[in-house]
Amino acid sequence: MLKHTALSPELGLAIEGLDVSQALPDELIAELRRLLHTHGLLLFRHQHLDDGQQARLARYFGRFSRQGPVQKTSSDITYVSNTRTDGTFGKGELLFHSDQCYYPYPMKAIMLYGVEVAQRGGHTLFTHTGRVLDRLRPATVDLLKSSQVRHQFHYGDVDYGQGVDAKVEKITVSHVHPAIVQHPWSDQRIVMISQATAADIVGLAQERSRAVIDEVNQALSDPAYVYEHHWAEGDLVIWDNLLLQHARPDFDPSERRTLRRCALAHELEPTAAP
């Protein structure tokens, strides 16, 4: 029986007393997948993982993604880092988003491991894209049920860090998804609108579209419902990239920070919730 404690009323579980550097038996993997699907995020503290051990753990939850110019230029293991020459997204603010929802198939899950963590700041924020629906005005939910959202991302406009930027294609990627989708493997309905990527609601006048997007983003980023992860070295965090959005407030760039990252691919395109 796995011991765990809730990280917040909305989302996340800390799994206690498990060394995830070891190969895990099938029943335990099945239980961890079930907990990830239910709670959106799993945290394993005090781990000691090399690249290969982290990759093995990631594979228990899915297959690696090489989608997108950044991933294409790197290996299955990448680094969110302001100290490594191959580090990406190492500094500055990241607004709430699910990774790659400007593609037909956004990422399934993201895994980060704390190699070197900031002494002050550098936290990662998480918010639940299903539970937010209970907090939106019913009229807004009704509108969203029949709406499509255009997600857009400008790869050329982002500072990728020291090593990767020159190799990243300068492209704009865009895809339209239903505003409320059926989560691919649970019975949850989730909202697909985010601060970082939602460009407009298809067919709505620009002002109205902006107002609805802002209303959803405000509800998603309400600190009362956000789990803020304060990193310690040896933290291993995996989260469901659709059930949760993540963000990072700006932090002092002189703080050294390196998180080892694995990105897992979605097999299913999100479909409109019935």
Ligand X SMILES: O=C(O)CCC(=O)C(=O)O
Rule CB under 6 A: which residues touch ligand X? 80, 89, 94, 99, 110, 112, 124, 246, 248, 259, 261
Residue 208 burial (CB count, 10 A): 13
Which one, 78 or 140, has the nearer CB to ligand X? Answer: 78
Distances in Å between the Cα of 249 and the Cα atoms of 41, 243, 261 are 19, 20, 18
Closer CB to ligand X, 41 or 273, in the complex: 41
Beta carbon of residue 270, minimum distance to ligand X (angstroms, whole number): 18
Q: Which is nearer to ligand X, 110 or 220 (CB)?
A: 110
Question: DSSP string of 120-138?
Answer: S---EEEEETTGGGGTS-H
79 vs 225, which CB is nearer to ligand X? Answer: 79
Burial of 204 (0-12, 13-18, 19+ CB in 10 A): middle
Q: How far is the CB of 94 from ligand X (least distance, A)?
A: 5
Least distance to ligand X, CB of residue 3, Å: 26
**Shortest reach from residue 269's CB to ligand X, in Å:** 20
Which residue, among 97, 127, 273, 272, has the nearest Cα to 193 in the 3D structure? Answer: 97
Nearer to ligand X, 53 or 82 (CB): 82
Closer residue to ligand X (CB): 112 or 181: 112
In the complex, the smallest distance separating the C-beta of residue 162 from ligand X, rounded to whole angstroms, is 15
Distance CA 262, CA 71 (A): 10
Residues 77 and 55 sit within 8 Å (Cβ to Cβ): yes
Q: Which is nearer to ligand X, 242 or 259 (CB)?
A: 259
Residues contacting 267, CB < 8 A, separation 6+: 105, 108, 184
Shortest CB 55 distance to ligand X, Å: 16
Give me the residue whose beta carbon is nearest to ligand X.
Answer: 124
Residues 4/35, Cβ–Cβ less than 8 Å: yes
With contact defined as beta carbons under 8 Å apart, do 45 and 235 qualify?
yes
- Strand 13-16: give its sheet, edge to edge: 3-6, 13-16, 41-44, 236-240, 107-116, 258-265, 77-81
Closest approach of ligand X to the CB of residue 272, in Å: 25
